[in-house]
Each structure stands twice: as structure tokens, then as C-alpha cells.
Copies of this chain bind each other. A is one copy, B any other.
């Protein structure tokens, strides 16, 4: 019970955990466009999760900030290294999105997370081992039925997603990670496709690039390349994602984005890595125990291009500086400065907003 309620039976057959997270943000904006300074609860979640009869697992998590179900599934772990999952969970695609929002290097994910695949209801099979992982999922629609009264007799959209990762080196403090992912979606008439992105901030709801609803979208394929490395206190992580939307009777639309981010833990910790994703930082010496916690500085360049032919969603590049303080495990305080280098096209063509934002977080 060192954070949340975790109970286990002695024989290891059962465990139960009540956990949650809270992220509270404050942000101030400079330059143009005006974005509206203010505060926000970014995430506020509670969950119940556990193990039943050793081989079975379950989870139900709810996001109170926007009243939505996030993780809600049942798993079977009876085959060593394999996992079978059914329910609502993240499509396996994109390292940045697979890493829990509790553990990302910056307060918000990089610009190309505009292409993350989100959560859908479906089934997944996954293989996790020390040096490689492979996950494949067949997904239906999102939890919230996107069909309205007029098209409730239409079938829902569906898709598949797959992600493979390779870690030729995977030791404590020494990791090389490579990843490849594909995410396909068959869109029903009722599914709208729209890509947009804020300037790596969420207190303001202003989106600096935005394609608007893409007409006649039929199917969509996203593909992504991942690279990451850990060398002691240093982490580097990069991704390239491309999204191709096939449209009936109109030319297809292609968009892409990439980012490169790196961080350095001044207090000497290393970013943990397991099953193809990064975990959270645990300080070597805690505040209240003679230490100053863990301190991390980070830097990112990210780019997102939502222009394609007649579609002028805008292209944005931004530079982000970050500082994270982890006084004790489960707590995190962050300060981020984002400078948008240029918006090219779209509503905010030529503008260069600045963001300064802070976050307080507990999570377990």
C-alpha cells in the first residue's frame, strides 16, 4: 500500500488495486494568436484493477475531467510472455502515445500525436519479451457511439493496428529501441476524419493547425517509425508518423510529422524501459530522506504538416524546453516552455505563439 490500495493474497492468485492520477495545469501565453491564460485539470482518473486466479486480469478506469471511460478490459495471461486482451484500450501504435501520460518527458506529447490512434473497443494479442515485442489488435469503434439517430442503422467503423519493437540492447541504464507500427481504419459514412493540434498545451483550446473535417474519407492508414535510446541519465526519443486518407472521388490526403526529444537526469537516475515503452522516474534520493528528488531537463523539436494540396490545415514547427522535478516516487512537478517557430498555412499562418506552463501531478 505505498500509493493506492494494493492488496494481494499470499498465494499470489489475487491482487486488487485502486489507483488514480491527477494533473493540474496553469498556463500563460505570449505572442499571437491570443490563447487565453488560465488553469485546467488536465487529467483526473480513478481505476480499479487486479488479478483473478493468477492468470486473469481486469481494469476499469474513468476520466472524470471529460466523463469518459479510458481503459476497460479483461486480460488472459496464462501463456508465458503472451497476453490476450478484450475491451477498450489504446490501439498499439506510436511510442509517444504508448507511454503513459504520467511518464512523458514533457507535459504534452509532441505535435505528431495529432496522429495517435486513440482507444477503441476490440481484442488484442501481444508478445512481450526482453528484446522484442509484437502486438496486433482488431478494433471496433470508440466507446462513445459516433452514430447519431439518422445513421444508427449503419455499421460502425473498424480497424486493425499492429506495433513491433526491437531492443537489441536492453539493460538497466542502457537501451536501444526501434519500433514500427501500422494502424488502419475503415471509416463508415458516420466517421469524420479531422486532424488538428494545439501548441503542445491544453489549458487553451486554440488549435494552431487544423484540417477541418475531410470530405468523403473512406479508409485511413497510419504508419510510424520509432527510435529511442537510454545511456545512463540521458534519453533520446524520435518518431516519424505518416497518415494517408483515401477518399471517394477525390484525391487522397497525406500528412506527416516527426519529433526528436532528449532529456538528462541531473540527479543521475535512468529512464526505465520495459515491454517496448518507457516507465516513470523514481528518484535515487527522496525529498524528506536527505535528497532533493530527481531533476530532469529536456528539449524537443517537433514538426507537423497538415497541408496537402487543396487542404490547408497548416504546418507547424515548435521547440520545447522542459524541467521535471520528482521529489518522491508518484509525484511530479513540471514546467514547460514552448516556442512555435512558425505556422505555415491555415488560419494562423505566420503566427508564433509562446507557451509557458506548469503542472502538479500525483499518479500511481
CB distance from A314 to the nearest CB of B (A): 17
Q: What residues on B are CB-neighbors of A141 within 8 Å? A: 38-39
**Known contacts A16-B3, A86-B24, A141-B39; A74 and B288 CB within 8 A of each other:** no
Q: What residues on B are CB-neighbors of A147 within 8 Å? A: 36
In angstroms, Cα B63 to Cα A62, docked, is 11
Q: What residues on B are CB-neighbors of A39 within 8 Å? A: 120-122, 140-141, 156
- Interface segment out of the listed A40-48, A224-232, A298-306: A40-48
A87 touches B22 (CB 8 A): yes
Point out the residue from B5, B327, B362 that lies within 8 Å of A7, measured CB to CB: B5
Asked if A292 is an interface residue, CB under 8 A from chain B, the answer is: no
Point out the residue from B33, B44, B143, B156 that lies within 8 Å of A41, measured CB to CB: B143
Asked if A324 is an interface residue, CB under 8 A from chain B, the answer is: no
Q: What residues on B are CB-neighbors of A16 within 8 Å? A: 1, 3-5, 18
Interface residues of A in 266-298 (CB under 8 A from B): 286-289
| Copies of this chain present | 3
A26 touches B140 (CB 8 A): yes
In angstroms, Cα B67 to Cα A38, docked, is 22
Output the residue of A52, A73, A122, A289 with the most chain B CB within 10 A. A52
Place the interface of chain A in its size category. Answer: 35 or more
Asked if A260 is an interface residue, CB under 8 A from chain B, the answer is: no
One digit per residue, 1 when the CB lies within 8 angstroms of any chain B CB and 0 when it does not, for chain A 40-60 equals 110010101010111110101
B53 touches A328 (CB 8 A): yes
In angstroms, Cα B5 to Cα A8, docked, is 10
Asked if A152 is an interface residue, CB under 8 A from chain B, the answer is: yes
**Known contacts A24-B121, A360-B86, A362-B58; A205 and B1 CB within 8 A of each other:** no
Asked if A14 is an interface residue, CB under 8 A from chain B, the answer is: yes
**Known contacts A34-B153, A37-B156, A39-B122; A20 and B60 CB within 8 A of each other:** yes
In angstroms, Cα B289 to Cα A15, docked, is 18
CB-nearest residue of chain B relative to A63? B64
In angstroms, Cα B34 to Cα A179, docked, is 41
Asked if A243 is an interface residue, CB under 8 A from chain B, the answer is: no
A to B CB contacts below 8 Å, 19 in the list:
A22-B72, A24-B74, A24-B88, A36-B155, A38-B141, A38-B155, A39-B120, A41-B72, A41-B143, A44-B72, A52-B330, A53-B287, A55-B287, A56-B331, A58-B362, A60-B64, A65-B143, A74-B331, A74-B360
The 10 closest A-B pairs by CB, nearest first: A38-B156, A39-B140, A34-B153, A39-B121, A37-B155, A58-B362, A53-B328, A1-B7, A86-B360, A24-B87
9 additional contacts, CB 8 Å, given A22-B58, A36-B155, A60-B64?
A3-B14, A18-B48, A20-B48, A33-B153, A44-B69, A52-B328, A53-B288, A58-B362, A67-B67
